[in-house]
Amino acid sequence: MKLPKHFYLRPDVAEIARDLVGKSLFTNTNGRVTGGMIVEAEAYCGATDRACHAYKNKCTDRTKVMFDAGGIAYVYLCYGIHCLFNIVTNSEGHADAILIRAVEPTHGLDVIRMRRNSDSRSVNLTSGPGKLTKALGIDLMHNGADLTQDQIWIEDSGITFSSDHIVSTTRIGVEYSGIDAFLSWRYYIKNNKWVSKP
Contact assessment for residue 24 and residue 152, using Cβ atoms and an 8 Å cutoff: no
What is the 8-class DSSP label of residue 16? H
Listed by start position, the domains of the chain span 5-189
Residue 133's pLDDT is what?
A: 98
Contact assessment for residue 137 and residue 31, using Cβ atoms and an 8 Å cutoff: no
What is the rounded CA–CA span in Å between residue 108 and residue 166? 26
What is the rounded CA–CA span in Å between residue 131 and residue 116? 8
Taking domain 5-189, whether its CATH number is 3.40.50.720 is answered by: no
What is the rounded CA–CA span in Å between residue 147 and residue 16? 15
User: Could you give the 3-state DSSP secondary structure of residue 194?
Assistant: coil
Closest-CA residue to 128 (of 104, 95, 161):
104
Residue 79's pLDDT is what?
A: 74
| pLDDT by 10-residue block (mean), the chain, 198 residues | 97 98 97 97 98 97 97 92 96 98 97 92 91 97 98 94 94 97 98 93
Closest-CA residue to 73 (of 93, 57, 51, 89):
89
What is the rounded CA–CA span in Å between residue 99 and residue 101? 6
What is the pTM assigned to this prediction? 0.96
What is the rounded CA–CA span in Å between residue 183 and residue 111? 36
User: Could you give the 3-state DSSP secondary structure of residue 31?
Assistant: coil
What is the rounded CA–CA span in Å between residue 96 and residue 17? 11
Q: How far is CA 189 from CA 118, 169, 193, in A?
A: 25, 11, 9
Residue 44's pLDDT is what?
A: 98
What is the rounded CA–CA span in Å between residue 34 and residue 68? 26
What is the rounded CA–CA span in Å between residue 96 and residue 47? 8
What is the rounded CA–CA span in Å between residue 27 and residue 136? 6
